[in-house]
A and B are shown apart, each in its own frame.
Chain A
Amino acid sequence: GAVVSQHPSWVICKSGTSVKIECRSLDFQATTMFWYRQFPKQSLMLMATSNEGSKATYEQGVEKDKFLINHASLTLSTLTVTSAHPEDSSFYICSARVPRGYSPLHFGNGTRLTVT
């Protein structure tokens, strides 16, 4: 089945620094990838849709200058959390769909970010 790889699985950084999270589709080309965030005991929240070769589409309330998304190839999207603050500590999960019909979303294993 389709595999989405996400790296790193966890990261601890200091307040004010930037963190980059990578998301790769391993056995299919993904023109679109989706970035979610999940706080403890809360539901998944879609942050943005990453489009290969064009600008990402951000959901309402998500700061595009803080959460930089780059989708430079058909198999790689990156999310950079800039000037991280403790309130950015969360579980970030990327996902992608095989571009065929109404195929399901496949998730990476997630990145747990802790900002100290």
Chain B
Amino acid sequence: QKEVEQNSGPLSVPEGAIASLNCTYSDRGSQSFFWYRQYSGKSPELIMFIYSNGDKEDGRFTAQLNKASQYVSLLIRDSQPSDSATYLCAVIGSGNTPLVFGKGTRLSVIA
């Protein structure tokens, strides 16, 4: 059973701080890793994707991947109250299997 694990939270950070969201996955052959943001009552929207070990930056967001540790994270710099949402980690496993989602981490940015 291929699994993606996330801390459900809530993770509370003050406005302007760095929010760090973590995700681990069980399939060592996984190829692609995605972070989605889901506001309450809305469908998920893609924030970032990463395929290679290391860091990938896009604006205030940085995705970090460590395949040896089977770990992917999302850093949000200068957190804003509008970043308050549930963040879903998703992984495409070996053999191009369907996307497997974690249960999500709820982030709350306090003004």
**Could you list which residues of chain A lie within 8 angstroms of chain B, going by C-beta atoms?**
34, 43-44, 46, 49, 91, 93, 97, 102, 104-110, 112
Among B42, B46, B96, which residue has its beta carbon within 8 angstroms of that of A102? B96
Q: Is the CB of A107 within 8 A of B45?
A: yes
Task: List residues of B (72-111) whose CB comes within 8 Å of A's CBs.
Answer: 88, 90, 92, 96, 98-99, 101-104
Number of A-B contacts (CB under 8 A): 42
Q: How many residues of B contact A (CB 8 A)?
A: 22
Interchain Cβ contacts under 8 Å between A and B, 8 examples = A43-B104, A44-B101, A102-B31, A102-B51, A102-B96, A104-B32, A107-B44, A110-B42
Q: Is the CB of B51 within 8 A of A109?
A: no
- Majority SS of interface residues in chain A? strand
Residues of chain A contacted by B101 (CB below 8 angstroms): 43-44
Q: Is the CB of A105 within 8 A of B90?
A: yes
